[in-house]
Amino acid sequence: AQKITQTQPGMFVQEKEAVTLDCTYDTSDPSYGLFWYKQPSSGEMIFLIYQGSYDQQNATEGRYSLNFQKARKSANLVISASQLGDSAMYFCAMREVSGSARQLTFGSGTQLTVLP
Amino acid sequence: DSGVTQTPKHLITATGQRVTLRCSPRSGDLSVYWYQQSLDQGLQFLIHYYNGEERAKGNILERFSAQQFPDLHSELNLSSLELGDSALYFCASSPRGDTKETQYFGPGTRLLVL
């Protein structure tokens, strides 16, 4: 069974600094996708970034990058130059590709607070 | 704005009642997923529909049911409601032909059972 672990319930970062949110996963499927979502206090889930298990390079999307270490089964989100608007809950999620299931399995989330 | 719409945004009801949550996927998306987010269970997958057909079931209670209509909108029906059903219910859709199958979430329906 798939499992996603986010060990940091809460994180603080100073505005304009970089922050890394940890995510480890467990799967026996060789083919899978990893996602990060942001959930502001308003409640919506916003897709941030995707990493495929066979992707050769780490994914990047603007200020977001993914530090993907396949052997360690980790997919940490790096946010550079933090902004006050980055304060939110961040979820790591995984979907296995080779099976018929298409749903996401989510971690418990990390609450990020950006300090002015 | 993800392009996924959900109604209503908020719903307050009493135990034992039945409610229907509605979701319209992004234009062209055939897949609709339902998730429940609660404080104690986190984000849990409920059910997946693809082009009108049920594809997968997760931790969905027997009191809950869903369907996807020919126009691709979906409804999640919750009956015999209990206090523990209070949660944020999301639907998400994913694009056909996208190898990533990224799921785009609607704004959610916040259900409070009193």
Q: Are strands B74-78 and B19-24 parallel, antiparallel or unpaired?
A: antiparallel
> Which of B67-72's residues contact partners 24+ apart within 8 Å by CB, and which partners?
B68/B32, B72/B24, B72/B25, B72/B29, B72/B30, B72/B32
Position B100 pLDDT exceeds 90: no
Nearest to B45 among A91, A100, A103 (CB): A103
Set of chain A residues whose Cβ sits within 8 Å of the Cβ of B104: 47
Residues of A with CB under 8 A from a CB of B: 33, 35, 37, 43-47, 50, 52, 91, 93, 95, 100-106, 108-109
Give how far A6 is from chain B: nearest CA, Å: 12
Mean pLDDT value of segment B72-76: 97
CB contact under 8 A, A47 and B42: no
B98 or B73: which leads in pLDDT: B73
State CA B42 to chain mean position distance: 15
pLDDT digits (tens, 9 = 90+) for B1-41: 889 999 999 999 999 999 999 999 999 999 999 999 998 88
Give how far A113 is from chain B: nearest CA, Å: 19
The predicted structure's pLDDT at residue A98: 65
Size of interface A-B (CB pairs under 8 A): 57
Q: What is the DSSP string of B14-81?
A: -TT--EEEEEEPPTT--EEEEEEEETTTEEEEEEEEETTEEEEE-S--TTEEEEE-TTS-EEEEE-S-
- Of A95, A105, A89, which Cα lies nearest the Cα of A5? A105
Query: What are the residues whose beta carbons fall under 8 Å from the beta carbon of A22, sequence distance 6 or more?
Result: A6, A7, A8, A74, A76, A110
Q: Tens place of pLDDT for every residue, chain A, 116 residues?
A: 679 999 999 999 999 999 999 999 999 888 899 999 999 999 999 999 999 999 999 999 999 999 999 999 999 999 999 999 999 999 999 997 766 678 899 999 999 999 99
pLDDT digits (tens, 9 = 90+) for A43-67: 999 999 999 999 999 999 999 999 9
